[in-house]
Structure 1
Amino acid sequence: MKKLGTLLFAIAILALGACNQSGPKEKFLPPSTGGINSLTVVMDTELWKGPVGDKIRDEFAAQIIGLPQIEPIFTIMQLPPKVFKGTTTYSRSILYVEQDSTSLAHIKDDAYAKPQKVAVVTGPTEEVLIKNLDSLAKRAIKEFKAVEITEAQHRFERSLSKDKALEEEFGISLKVPSLYKVGKREDNFIWMDIQIPKGTMNIIAYQMPWDYFKSDSTLVEDIMRMRDSIGQKYIPGPDMPGKTTYMITEKAFSPYVFPAEIGGKKAAEVKGVWEIHGYPMAGPFLTYIINDKENNRKMILEGFTFAPSTEKRDYMFELEAILKTVSFEPAEEPVSD
């Protein structure tokens, strides 16, 4: 029988070491490294060039929906197993693939560094490897993304805004980096942004009545109507003689809607493209429509980016990481007579 690869052997040694240690003392692990949304794929180069590599690229470098241009879920760096040692093992997200007599498809936490996710896929043939990749890909992508979100939040939590506009207006809090500034605050609307090369990243917040969305069958149309009305009222475009410009939802493509949970509450996650009515500007947006039943409202949080001729994946990922830090203050108890 062929021996298991370097990674599986190391994981077994780590497990044995943990069993032999007395007491609750933890083994020291170095901090994980790597750029946000990067994935280290450890596998034989010949496998990488063939159908197994094609399957990995199809799954882990698939196009992100909701962006105006093609960008992959992860930026992949492939390494052959013989160079997977030392600091290369500290990558935060790792996919280890090996042709071996044992068939495996599982995910290991913190094997070499912390925090870290290591997805391990083995199999005796290319067909089995592809089958195992297919069975694991969805969960692996979800777990890789979760560890990347946590890392993004860790990075910006070092310097947070002390502005209390969101707490005062809506009774919510967000962990927003200190470089974001509130540029507009009106009744039921807050807009904050940050300057980036060639553009801006933006966060807006507002609330809608609990019963605003009447039917699942008209949900997408109702979302677009809501966004367009808010854009017309609060988000103007460039000044154009004889024209009124403002943000609307891109009309050529309907936004994507997914179930989500955020701030401990059920929500709808909406991804799509915004444009400016009456002016050639556009970019991606991410909206969370949160069921805040305790306050009898739908709480709306949105991030959008304007960065022409620039890749926007990591900008939108940062906005997602910020929005997912939302927390709600407890609803006030009614005062009895």
Structure 2
Amino acid sequence: MSFQKTIAWVLCILSAGLLYSCDQAQRGSNSNKPPARGGRGEIVLVIDSLKFQGEVKEALLEVFQEDIPGLVREESLYDLRRVDPRAMTRILRMAYNIVYVTTFDDKNPGSQSINAQFSKKSKEQAAKNDSLFMIRNEDEFARGQEVIYLFGNNEKELIENLRKNKSKIQNLFEVRERNRLGEVLFNRTNGKLAAKGEELFNLELKIPPSYQFVKEGENFLWARQPTPTTQRADISLIFYETEYKSEEQLFPENIIKLRDEILKTRVFGDPNNPESFVKTEKQVPPAFRNLKIDGQYAVEMRGQWKTNNVSMGGSFISYVTVNPDNSKLYFMEGFVFYPNEKHKSALWEIETILMGTNFIENPEK
């Protein structure tokens, strides 16, 4: 199926105008294509130079370069590389993530070169339904590639849809990057830590072999990837289990309280100094969002940690979820010690590991 026919067919059947994936049956024909390339979190944004200004530019930056929540220093979600459509080389077309942006009323040469890929019928369908704004094309130029087309009949429609669907677009690339990283991290896992996870919590923990066992206690496990370098952060992972009594335990203020209770008696910057326990930095308010882990409702918390004696500090991501089979509440966290370096890559690693956790099904269920 040609690309233009694919576009026309998609626009005819989409009513909500959110997401579309190419026919998976077509992927067999991609075996001769080169593998996609690009850094983690890198997106090639293809848009006419004159289009990338004003409110269009602002809306796109709000989507792709929004600051990661919970950090002291500003770090954007993705690394954006803007390219004019007429400057797209063969090498750039091999990028892992490509986003084309256009409006059908734009007569500038760059936008016209993108619009030429849409059939007349496609544009007519879009004109009838202003909620149509996105098309996904997998493996268009390379294997493992994601190509997104964001479009509108005019700039007003494009901007409105970008802002209205910001979280959907961000989530698309977040899941994609997490799956990509997971293929690397979970190539091998630490069998001893996996056994501990099953024994202590009845959880399937996927922890890379670079992490080492540090400490266990009643309903508690601590693993760590030590010896930080300029290329590698010091990352700790902690797991804790308690009884689930009410949904109030999942309220933000109670999650912060639970975190501080867990860490105060179990995690220290200096094991020989009981006053060096880890706690939540309140001056940088933690950020929360709801999601799912292994199909179950979970709350994510991102923020900053510090030791009580303020000798160390860094970033963290926590997840609180409930297993309805055994009425247990699980607290899982990864925190980073990486002074004077960016934390984005380490936080991606933590997110990928913790969100890869699975409940082990109870055979008596």
Asked if TM exceeds 0.5, the reply is yes
Give the TM-score range, shorter chain.
0.7 to 0.9
Alignment length (residue pairs):
317
Q: CA deviation at 1:272?
A: 1.6
Residue among 152, 156, 159 paired with 1:127: 156
Residues 94 and 299 of structure 1, relative CA distance in 2, 3 Å threshold: same
Give, in whole Å, the separation in 1 of the partners of 2:169 and 2:43: 11
Equivalent in the alignment of 2:115: none
Asked if 2 retains the 8 angstrom alpha-carbon contact of 1:287 and 1:301, the reply is yes
Equivalent in the alignment of 1:19: none
Give, in whole Å, the separation in 2 of the partners of 1:255 and 1:119: 32
Amino acid of the residue matched to residue 204 of structure 1? I
Give, in whole Å, the separation in 2 of the partners of 1:77 and 1:10: 28
Provide, for residues 76-128 of structure 1, a one-character-per-residue CA deviation record: whole Å limited to 9, x for no partner: 01111123242322322221012433455113131333433322123454434
Q: CA deviation at 1:49?
A: 4.2
Residue among 96, 108, 115 paired with 2:136: 108
Equivalent in the alignment of 2:335: 304
Give, in whole Å, the separation in 2 of the partners of 1:324 and 1:90: 29
Equivalent in the alignment of 2:359: 328
Range 23-32 or range 63-72, more displaced: 23-32
Residues 60 and 279 of structure 1, relative CA distance in 2, 3 Å threshold: same
Equivalent in the alignment of 1:192: 223
Residue among 324, 347, 352 paired with 1:293: 324
Give, in whole Å, the separation in 2 of the partners of 1:82 and 1:157: 39
Residues 157 and 245 of structure 1, relative CA distance in 2, 3 Å threshold: same
Give, in whole Å, the separation in 2 of the partners of 1:115 and 1:83: 22
SS of the residue 1:301 aligns to? strand
SS of the residue 1:142 aligns to? helix
Give, in whole Å, the separation in 2 of the partners of 1:262 and 1:92: 26
SS of the residue 1:168 aligns to? helix
Residue among 204, 211, 214 paired with 2:238: 204
Asked if 1 retains the 8 angstrom alpha-carbon contact of 2:70 and 2:284, the reply is no
SS of the residue 1:223 aligns to? helix
Q: How does 1:81-120 map to 2 (within 5 A)?
A: 81-101=85-105, 102=123, 105-110=133-138, 111-120=140-149
Give, in whole Å, the separation in 2 of the partners of 1:106 and 1:244: 53
Provide, for residues 157-180 of structure 1, a one-character-per-residue CA deviation record: whole Å limited to 9, x for no partner: 223222222122212122221111
Residues 194 and 313 of structure 1, relative CA distance in 2, 3 Å threshold: same
Equivalent in the alignment of 1:6: none
Give, in whole Å, the separation in 2 of the partners of 1:239 and 1:192: 15
Asked if 2 retains the 8 angstrom alpha-carbon contact of 1:107 and 1:140, the reply is no
1:183 and 2:187 aligned = no
Asked if 2 retains the 8 angstrom alpha-carbon contact of 1:201 and 1:305, the reply is yes
Q: CA deviation at 1:271?
A: 1.5
1:143 and 2:172 aligned = yes
Give, in whole Å, the separation in 1 of the partners of 2:295 and 2:271: 41
SS of the residue 2:252 aligns to? helix
Residues 15 and 106 of structure 1, relative CA distance in 2, 3 Å threshold: closer
Residue among 236, 242, 267 paired with 1:235: 267
Give, in whole Å, the separation in 1 of the partners of 2:349 and 2:305: 18
Provide, for residues 133-165 of structure 1, a one-character-per-residue CA deviation record: whole Å limited to 9, x for no partner: 334433211101111110010121223222222
Q: CA deviation at 1:294?
A: 0.9
Amino acid of the residue matched to residue 296 of structure 2? K
Give, in whole Å, the separation in 2 of the partners of 1:214 and 1:123: 43
> How high is the sequence identity, in percent, across the aligned residues?
24
Equivalent in the alignment of 1:5: none
SS of the residue 1:134 aligns to? helix
Q: CA deviation at 1:320?
A: 0.2
Residues 75 and 24 of structure 1, relative CA distance in 2, 3 Å threshold: closer
Residues 212 and 309 of structure 1, relative CA distance in 2, 3 Å threshold: farther
Asked if 1 retains the 8 angstrom alpha-carbon contact of 2:275 and 2:309, the reply is yes
Give, in whole Å, the separation in 2 of the partners of 1:128 and 1:10: 27
Residue among 190, 205, 215 paired with 1:161: 190
Equivalent in the alignment of 1:225: 257
Residues 46 and 96 of structure 1, relative CA distance in 2, 3 Å threshold: same
Amino acid of the residue matched to residue 338 of structure 2? A
Q: CA deviation at 1:297?
A: 0.6
Q: What is the TM-score of this pair, normalised by structure 2?
A: 0.79
Give, in whole Å, the separation in 2 of the partners of 1:61 and 1:92: 17
SS of the residue 1:279 aligns to? coil
Gaps spanning 5+ residues in structure 1: where? 1-8, 17-22
* Structure 1 or 2: more strand by fraction: 1
Q: CA deviation at 1:15?
A: 7.2
